[in-house]
Structure 1
Amino acid sequence: MTITSTHGGHDRAVPFGATVTAQRARRIEAVFGATVEYLAALLIVCEILILLAGVIARYYLSTPLPWTDEAASILFLWLASLGSVVAFRRGEHMRMTALVARTSPDRQAFLDTVAIAAALAFLVFALGPAYEYASEEIHIVTPALELSNAWRAAALPVGLALMAMMSLIRLFKSGNWRLISASVAAVAVLFAVFAAARPLLQDLGNLNLVIFFVGVSGITVLLGIPIAVAFGLATFGFLTLTTTLPITVLVGRMDEGMSHIILISVPLFVFLGLLIEMTGMARAMVAFLASLLGHVRGGLSYVLIGAMYLVSGISGSKVADMAAVTPVLFPEMRKRGMTSGELVALLATTGAQTETIPPSLVLITIGSVTGVSIAALFSGGMLPALVLAAALSAVVFFRTKKEVMAGVRRATGREIILALVTALPAIALPFVIRAAVVEGVATASEVSTLGIVYTFIVGIVIYRQMNWHRLVPILVETAALSGAILFIIGTATAMAWALTQSGFSNSLAAAMAALPGGAGTFLAVSIVMFIVLGSVLEGIPAIVLFGPLMFPIAAQMGVNDVHYAMVVVLAMGIGLFAPPFGVGYYAACAIGRVNPSEGIRPIVPYVLALLVGLAVVAAFPSISTCLLPQAAGGAGKP
């Protein structure tokens, strides 16, 4: 007996037994997935409460709690691991699907299943070393809580095991045994080929760097395998087949990357970004800007640029920023004659423009992997974004001369004042966050908790739009996005360590130092390099992978570290939001409900404007450093 399945885009015959298996897999996934999601949501709440207790006790009561950092660190690795499981269940691990999407439905279904099978293979191979790594941590005791460090380290093998289970469930959900068998066989054959080639690979020396870290990682990323898995497979293959190092080293570097105390702010800022959208704070800011500029030609485009600047100063999440601004502005902008392509082009490029505005997740990542002071990065990121905003505004001025203004009414002074009063609590939040870090009230890891409490109070007391039923879904969404980010950081940290140990960093430093033209040429090469990396890998994995290599070279070349951070972050932002490979562009299209093909031509002048603005930022270091307490970045506390 057979029934019809639509997996892969068109009908095909599927055996009845396979369908029963698929239905059972879906039921198991529903229970299993919901359990993990609620646990991850609970961990986020616990993190917020622990960090907030630490801030209150230290700053307001002058009685620091020595255990808060330890407890937060232990729970954070569990949150990262369970969040990765949630992201895997929801299919939200970062992938490059531009090439896969262009294939036929059958081939696309095959490649999607190969991606799951490849992830399962990596997880199974890493599970044993992860268990061994956690076992070795049993005898290490934390100083404040006096707990075995195995309680923290166990998060990795548990998370890997749960992701492996989720991989199996997702394979069985397809209900197509032929597709599953072909995909698993393809992955098994590739692994067997590499295993058989081990004697040859061990004689190739540094050529293996190209084979694994360019070839394997590049091909797997292009095939749509999750970026974190691609990095993990490349590093695992390199260590296993070409060195004698134990694989527990890979797990140790993953632990180091995923549990860095600075990165605790990632899930909290993601949650804050979703929270301000839910409470109506973003809508209030947009309404105020629209009351000021809505009556001028191109005014709503300027409002979009300004709104993204302000909202980015709160959330740190570009997806949250775009989702908050788009529903408010796009309908009216369409009424004024702007095409869908023009709208999404401007939306995407404002996403690139605001990459340096604190609390940017990329800036937090730079601080965690390079040692640059996050307070300095937060201070240095404000003006570079303004330069790019001015460049985009210049394009808007010339492209909106024919905007339809019929029926557009100028807001009265009373309406402007009312909109300002309504928006003031929302507008104040970015300044509260920045002041809390600069004045030492809270670290960059803790300040998001103050923002969350502030947003709850404002949402309940002033805007009265607190939808309590949405809190759990928002927490789950936060866990999924955070898990996807942190899992990439973990495997990218392992790859960066392997590259460093191989001597690649020394060779790269020597090659960059030998470039003619000194610091200017170095910055130009860095811009090109990070635009490409941003389009292929996205900002966070690119900076984790190459930040530890490039920032020391920048220091040797005499480039200020904060200035260099602004240049590379903006370059990655342009790559991330520029078609055809930038995934941020496709996220903007999805949020704006616009066909990606419509924005390809309109986005060109905006991208050129961003490049001009980036050139100005690169040429004048004072733009990035003039707001620092001293005209220098440097390492420091977060």
Structure 2
Amino acid sequence: MITLLIILLLVFLALSVPIYISIGLASFISVLIFSDIIPMVLIQRMFSGLDAISLMALPFFVLAANIMDGGGLSKRILSFSRALVGHLAGGIALTSQVASMFFGSLSGSSPATVIAIGKIMYPELVKGGYSRSFSGGLLASAGAVSLVIPPSITLIIFAAVTGVSVSSLFMGGITAGIVLGLSSIVYIYIYAKKHNIEKDKRASWKELVRSFGKAFWSLLIPVIILGGIYTGIFSPTEAAVVSVVYAFLIGFFVYKELDLKTTFKICIDSAITSAQILVLVSSAQLFGWVLTREQVPQQVSSFMVDNISSVIIFLLLLNVILLIMGMFMEGIAAITVTAPLIFPAAVAMGVDPVHLGVIMVTNLAIGMYTPPFGMNIFVAQTITRLELKEMMPGLCKFLAFNIAGLLLITYIPEISLFLLRFM
């Protein structure tokens, strides 16, 4: 059964069949041919796969991200970021990176971050003397950080698939996301120094305070969300609802860039996005159930434990596999397919579940812009109008520095576990 399942999945993917159909249809055909299970049971498994408390947070975080973008929160974060770091070497590029990290902590969506930051900053980067290749690579890679920094939708999916605490994963994602962002900042600084890029004039204290004041209500969102979770005031799911209400109130009554018509359209778009994600999760849960029923996770776990004695080699292989998968599959799909297989083996080898989740999501974040098929590349191309060959030099250099950051996250567990143990 498993051989047919994998063959069908690969064939459907090669034919460009949508991922959720590829996963679900391959599972249905394999089970119906090799077992006497009736189709209704498979449909029930798909529905029960969505019956997870952690998944309730997903549509609310999607809605919150769209409200933040439509309500003017993202552009105020950009203005504050530029006032904060614009005078440093590589100031405009640093602004893009820092703003992406801020916005990523609000939206949890990598493509959304590329669009929200890129459409404003790309013209500024080119005007500031940065090459188009560098600018395109920066925007594609900076958006990837948002997959790691909480509230990360991909971390929520990992929690739903494996049962690991969402709040613990969020703690690990904070420090890992900062390390990943800093690896890009190092390259930005080196590039700016090498090419003698002109800096912004240093913002005065008055200008800095003014930009902070305008962005203050936007910057409070991660404080409210993460502070509420870690102080026990509300759960991650409740935090998602709070973020929606808060973002709406700020966009509607404080910034006054939302109206009822815009809000209605945002709700429709968010519902469509959430449905697309959840139907994928549903199909993947069926796929995972079939694998579990055939004891594939246990076999993979036993094989790895028996044949790979070194945790260092195991994690290195895991990184390579996930980086390749990240090029072809969106992070949520890759997590739902691979986590049930990898999780038992990793835990059996002594890898901390939170550390594992952060490693997997960081790999998939980098895979989002790894040439030639990373999704963020195509999203960035809609903004930059560059061909892939034009973007490649910039992409590859950011990729090299981010992989260095990934190796630090992989082989220094304290980066992911420091806050968790401290708290």
- Is the 8 Å Cα contact of residues 515 and 522 (structure 1) preserved in structure 2? no
- Is the 8 Å Cα contact of residues 252 and 259 (structure 2) preserved in structure 1? no
The aligned residue for residue 268 of structure 2 is 476
Structure 1 residues 412, 418: closer, same or farther in 2, change over 3 A?
A: same
| Equivalent in 248, 252, 255 of residue 456 of structure 1 | 248
The aligned residue for residue 579 of structure 1 is 371
The aligned residue for residue 96 of structure 2 is 304
| Equivalent in 200, 215, 225 of residue 433 of structure 1 | 225
Deviation per residue, 1:422-443 (Å, 9 max, x gap): 1111111111100111122222
- Paired letter, 2:81: L
The alignment's C-alpha RMSD in Å is 1.7
The aligned residue for residue 539 of structure 1 is 331
Structure 1 residues 263, 592: closer, same or farther in 2, change over 3 A?
A: farther
Q: Which has the larger radius of gyration?
A: 1
| Equivalent in 514, 517, 525 of residue 306 of structure 2 | 514
- Paired letter, 1:610: N
Q: How does 1:270-281 map to 2 (within 5 A)?
A: 270-281=62-73
- Paired letter, 2:22: A
Deviation per residue, 1:209-229 (Å, 9 max, x gap): 23322x211121122110000
The secondary structure found in structure 1 opposite 2:129 is coil
- Is the 8 Å Cα contact of residues 272 and 448 (structure 1) preserved in structure 2? yes
- Paired letter, 1:318: S
The secondary structure found in structure 2 opposite 1:381 is helix
Deviation per residue, 1:154-202 (Å, 9 max, x gap): xxxxxxxxxxxxxxxxxxxxxxxxxxxxxxxxxxxxxxxxxxxxxxxxx
| Equivalent in 165, 169, 177 of residue 373 of structure 1 | 165
Q: How does 1:164-313 map to 2 (within 5 A)?
A: 208-213=1-6, 215-313=7-105
The secondary structure found in structure 2 opposite 1:359 is coil
Q: Distance in 2 between matches of 1:287 and 1:426?
A: 12
The aligned residue for residue 419 of structure 1 is 211
Give the superposition deviation at 1:363.
0.6
Q: Distance in 2 between matches of 1:348 and 1:222?
A: 25
- Is the 8 Å Cα contact of residues 54 and 166 (structure 2) preserved in structure 1? no
The aligned residue for residue 381 of structure 2 is 589
Q: Distance in 2 between matches of 1:309 and 1:394?
A: 15
Moved over 4 A (4+): none
Residue 335 in 1 paired to residue 127 in 2?
A: yes
Deviation per residue, 1:379-408 (Å, 9 max, x gap): 1111111111121111112222325428x4
Structure 1 residues 509, 469: closer, same or farther in 2, change over 3 A?
A: same
Give the superposition deviation at 1:530.
1.4
The aligned residue for residue 234 of structure 2 is 442
| Equivalent in 555, 565, 569 of residue 347 of structure 2 | 555
Residue 622 in 1 paired to residue 384 in 2?
A: no
Structure 1 residues 219, 601: closer, same or farther in 2, change over 3 A?
A: farther
Deviation per residue, 1:3-50 (Å, 9 max, x gap): xxxxxxxxxxxxxxxxxxxxxxxxxxxxxxxxxxxxxxxxxxxxxxxx
Structure 1 residues 567, 392: closer, same or farther in 2, change over 3 A?
A: same
Q: Distance in 1 between matches of 2:163 and 2:422?
A: 17
Give the superposition deviation at 1:597.
3.3
- Paired letter, 1:210: T
Structure 1 residues 437, 385: closer, same or farther in 2, change over 3 A?
A: same
Q: Distance in 1 between matches of 2:141 and 2:133?
A: 12
Q: Distance in 1 between matches of 2:218 and 2:110?
A: 18
TM-score by length of 2: 0.95
Give the superposition deviation at 1:595.
3.3
Q: Distance in 2 between matches of 1:516 and 1:240?
A: 35
Give the superposition deviation at 1:630.
6.0
Q: Distance in 2 between matches of 1:538 and 1:353?
A: 14
Q: Distance in 1 between matches of 2:386 and 2:235?
A: 40
Q: How does 1:347-426 map to 2 (within 5 A)?
A: 347-401=139-193, 402-405=195-198, 408-426=200-218
Give the superposition deviation at 1:245.
1.9
Q: Distance in 2 between matches of 1:581 and 1:271?
A: 27
Deviation per residue, 1:252-296 (Å, 9 max, x gap): 221022342321211111111111111111111110110122233
The secondary structure found in structure 2 opposite 1:311 is helix
- Is the 8 Å Cα contact of residues 292 and 416 (structure 1) preserved in structure 2? yes
Deviation per residue, 1:606-628 (Å, 9 max, x gap): 11111111101111101001101
Q: Distance in 2 between matches of 1:254 and 1:292?
A: 48
Q: How does 1:74-85 map to 2 (within 5 A)?
A: none
The alignment covers a number of residue pairs equal to 422
TM-score by length of 1: 0.64
Deviation per residue, 1:545-577 (Å, 9 max, x gap): 221222122111111111111111111111222
Q: Unmatched 5+ residue regions in structure 2?
A: none
Give the superposition deviation at 1:305.
1.2
Q: Quick check: which one's helix share is greater?
A: 2
Deviation per residue, 1:507-559 (Å, 9 max, x gap): 20111112334221221121112112222222111211221222122111111
Q: Distance in 2 between matches of 1:438 and 1:454?
A: 18
The secondary structure found in structure 2 opposite 1:464 is coil
